[in-house]
Structure 1
Amino acid sequence: MPSPDRKRKTMRRSGYDTRADARTALARVLECEHAGVYLDDAQTFADYLIGWLDAKARQLKPTTVARYRDYLRNDLLPAFGAIRLERLTHQHVDQFVRTQLAAGRGPVTLRRCIATLSSALNAIRQRSLTHNAARYTAIPLPHRVERPCWTTEEAATFLGYCHLVDDPLTKLFEVLICTGMRKGEALGLQWADVDLEARLLFVRHTLVAVDNSRLVLSTPKTPGSRDWIALSTRAVQALRRRGRRHRAEALTGTASNERGLVFCRPEGQPIRPEHVLRHFYELAEAAGVPLIRVHDLRHLAATIMNRVRSSAGHGVQDPAALHFVDHR
């Protein structure tokens, strides 16, 4: 059959138990040739996966590449690496899934792992495979958990406690609640993208941890996330107070914020996202409010905005929402 350099190459197969097995293998080779698919009978799935990730890394975010690499190293290469690429079947993938589920692997993580495998097997576009062995793999859906969301009164209680103890992350949580920004977007926010006079900020970056260690500024999660956000009075005041604190740190010589980050450690270094999460839980417990995720503050922000908008549209003030927005 023709190779990518358009030279004919003889493909040899042996070791079949029956003549019928040999005919099946021959039919497979002829099918690939008819479909214009080139088969390299010496290529293992490990060779293919490593080459795929190397090529894919030039197009993906660092965090995505790191996640893919973990799945390859910990799961896909040990399970399928020794199999010849052309011989990988749906049965191999199905057996892997059943083994992982029986061992107690979480369905969410397993689905992401198989999604990575399926992405790699979309090589039909590159004329390397005729089918995707992972495309129709069945994995049970995880149970949906009803997550709580703070009321405006609970949000006010939380921020009131943060102000009372003068916690250094108070302004960060205040901005998250007022704007609905993602945690990484707020941690990657730079003063150059904030216009307090116009009451606007621009989401240009997100701070992410690569390999759970190195912090980098990356592009926002979705194209739509890269946009302007209007700031409420409370958000503007929180950012002004944060700016005053930042200038005070700079005057004492303790800060060296070369990146111009709005929210950073006293010495100017980025704040690790996992520290924000742990500290948020500690503050919520101390304030006596229900424990929720930092990400749930996006839902809280949307709820507050909708209530204020609805009240304004009907000419009736919503005391709870407006109390929170105007709270100092």
Structure 2
Amino acid sequence: MGKKGENIYKRKDGRWEARYIKEYALNGKVRYGYCYGKTYREAKEKVNYARSMLFVQKPAEKGDHPKYFSAYCNEWLILKRSKVKESTYIKYETILTKHIKPKLGNFIPEMLSEIAIEQFAHELLKKNQLSTKTVRDILSVLHAVLDYTKRQNPHMNAVVISYPTEKFKEKRVLTKAEQDKFVRYLKTEMDTCKFGMLLALLTGLRIGEICALRWSDISLDEQVLYVRHSMQRLKTGDPTRMKKTKVIIGMPKSEHSVRKIPLNKDILELCLQWKPKEKDAFILTGKSNAYLEPRMLQYRMQYYTEACDLKGVHFHTLRHSFATRCVEAGFEIKSLSEILGHSSTNITLGCYVHSSLDLKRQNMEKLCSTG
């Protein structure tokens, strides 16, 4: 017997038979359709597909097999292959392979619903315990694939995705006293790595940008630092290779991240002291044939901050601290946004500008009467 309400039965010949209502005759008589499979699951998938085709006014043809959502995921990824950076492509591939296809790949597109997507997002947050930002990134990729799928299936209902709200989390920023302490530490027995880290603190460079930065990117004559590349470690995507990841030096995060940063006299003096003979040497190593990748720089950062007794400090903290110091010094926001490589001042103001209590107090004092 079939499960209650499912009309799926195991036949005497060993096959599974799934029955569904195909149409009603004028006299009210029901006409049934039948789907067969070697397993219960196969029969159920076929009958669900047949029902969905009836829903979109397209009868299921004999021998027709359902095209699952995973197939559309694969097609969408192929179309993105020549349109995005290698790092972006690998990110998309990882999201699809690790999260979307395992959970939603066996769905027939017509049966994907807002509830199914909500359950998927809820599981990512609660069961997998992914961060809100990571879940939002996954849902963004899902949204793009759904748009592609909808274009291939005009009768498919549009699926609305509800994105989880990110809880505001105060970003860690070095106080002036902490920054002074950290700078003193970096200047003590300074080496190329400490110099590079100090340069990042004084210019707001991202970790991938400072790792990829070479001395050829710094013009002491123009007094300018050019941000042209970024370094990151990514999956190879080739299961036959011994090493599953590789270091890639490519374009920065976005087109706005390619930028020129003016160097003040303090930075210029440091550069003059540490400029090596090799023009194309990496900033962090002083050698053209050796680099320090982001993961290793994070380890160095942890060692340095522990030596300074600084808690909760990561490399990105330097970037937030740089932006905060700029605001405290009265920086014009548009200039700061371009130095940080942002596409708009809203990103700068919303994510990277953190007013210290002292600055807030100074602004409050402006409201005092002068009489």
Give the 3 Å change call, closer, same or farther, for CA 79–170 of structure 1 in structure 2.
same
Contact 2:52 2:111 in 1 (8 A): no
SS at match of 1:209: strand
Aligned mate of 2:261, from 201, 210, 229: 229
SS at match of 2:272: helix
Q: 2: CA distance between counterparts of 1:210 and 1:101?
A: 24
Aligned residue for 2:193? 169
Aligned mate of 2:145, from 120, 123, 138: 120
Structure of greater Rg: 2
Unaligned stretches of 5+ residues in structure 1 = 1-13, 31-39, 251-256, 311-328
**Which residues of 2 match residues 166-205 of structure 1 at below 5 A?**
166-205=190-229
1:178-198 per-residue CA deviation (whole Å, 9 max, x = no partner) reads 111212112222333211122
Q: Which has the higher strand share?
A: 2
Give the 3 Å change call, closer, same or farther, for CA 173–51 of structure 1 in structure 2.
same
Q: 2: CA distance between counterparts of 1:217 and 1:110?
A: 27
Q: 2: CA distance between counterparts of 1:75 and 1:127?
A: 23
Q: 2: CA distance between counterparts of 1:199 and 1:24?
A: 65
Contact 2:281 2:287 in 1 (8 A): no
Aligned residue for 2:282? 261
**Which residues of 2 match residues 50-65 of structure 1 at below 5 A?**
50-65=74-89
Aligned residue for 2:115? 91
SS at match of 1:269: coil
Q: Tell me which amino acid in the other structure corresponds to 1:122.
A: D
1:136 is displaced (CA, Å) by 2.1
1:23 is displaced (CA, Å) by 8.6
**Which residues of 2 match residues 239-258 of structure 1 at below 5 A?**
239-244=271-276, 247=277
SS at match of 1:214: strand
2:255 matches 1:218: no
SS at match of 1:208: strand
Q: 2: CA distance between counterparts of 1:290 and 1:302?
A: 20
Aligned residue for 1:283? 304
Q: 2: CA distance between counterparts of 1:215 and 1:184?
A: 11
Aligned residue for 1:16? 20
Q: 1: CA distance between counterparts of 2:122 and 2:325?
A: 44
Q: Tell me which amino acid in the other structure corresponds to 1:243.
A: K
Q: 2: CA distance between counterparts of 1:58 and 1:29?
A: 36
Aligned mate of 1:306, from 327, 343, 368: 327
- Structure 1 window deviating more from structure 2 (85-94 vs 229-238): it is 85-94
Contact 2:139 2:163 in 1 (8 A): no
Aligned residue for 1:29? 57
2:132 matches 1:111: no
SS at match of 2:231: strand
Q: Percent identity?
A: 21
TM-score, structure 2 as length reference: 0.65
Give the aligned length. 277
TM-score, structure 1 as length reference: 0.73
SS at match of 1:117: helix
1:88 is displaced (CA, Å) by 2.8
Q: 2: CA distance between counterparts of 1:299 and 1:103?
A: 31
Q: Tell me which amino acid in the other structure corresponds to 1:48.
A: Y
Unaligned stretches of 5+ residues in structure 2 = 1-17, 25-47, 59-63, 236-243, 332-371
1:50-102 per-residue CA deviation (whole Å, 9 max, x = no partner) reads 12112212112222222221222222111122223343333332232333344
Contact 1:172 1:263 in 2 (8 A): yes
Contact 1:185 1:205 in 2 (8 A): yes
SS at match of 2:168: coil
1:262 is displaced (CA, Å) by 2.7
